[in-house]
Amino acid sequence: MRIDVVCAGHPPALLIERGDVRALGHHGPLLGAVASPRWERVRADIPAGAILVLYTDGVLDATGHGRERFGEQRLAGALAGATDAQDAITRIDRALERFRLGRQADDTAVLAIEHLP
């Protein structure tokens, strides 16, 4: 399966292949916020068994002790080794629950898509 990824204000998608996590896409201007926006399209092949994870910046911006952000490194660490789409979502949910302090100030949404063989 081949996809095109364009980030219009959201963070890059994450692709999990055989447990390894890599980013797809480049940060771009928020859709509707710039008069003449330019976005970079990234084309990627998604092999059977791979998982594509889309998420809002609220996941990265979740705060923990000392107002530290959850961030990209923790997200990738939580997803490393994920075996399917449900496992990816469960791993993010559990990692955020362990990390967060208090109520979340920003939206937190995650979509995981698995390319079935």
Q: How far apart are CA 65 and CA 20, in angstroms?
A: 28
The CATH number that domain 2-114 falls under is: 3.60.40.10
For residues 1-13, give the mean pLDDT. Answer: 93
Provide the residue ranges of all domains of the chain, joining segments of one domain with +. 2-114
Q: Which band of pLDDT confidence, cut at 50, 70 and 90, is reported for residue 99? A: very high
Q: How far apart are CA 85 and CA 102, in angstroms?
A: 27
| 16 in Cβ contact with 54 (< 8 Å) | no
Q: What are phi and psi of 8, to 5 degrees?
A: -110, 60
Residue 22 has pLDDT above 80, yes or no: yes
Mean per-residue pLDDT of the chain: 93
Cut 0.85: pTM above it: yes
Q: What is the pLDDT of residues 31-78, one digit of tens each?
A: 888 888 889 999 999 999 999 999 999 999 999 987 899 999 999 999
Helix orientation angle between 85-99 and 71-79, rounded to the nearest 10 degrees? 140
Residue 104 has pLDDT above 80, yes or no: no
| 96 in Cβ contact with 62 (< 8 Å) | yes
Residue 105 is predicted with a pLDDT of 67
Q: What is the pLDDT of residues 82-95, one digit of tens each?
A: 999 999 999 999 99
Q: How far apart are CA 59 and CA 72, in angstroms?
A: 9
Task: Look at residues 80, 28, 85 and name the one whose alpha carbon lies nearest to residue 57.
Answer: 28
Residue 106 is predicted with a pLDDT of 75
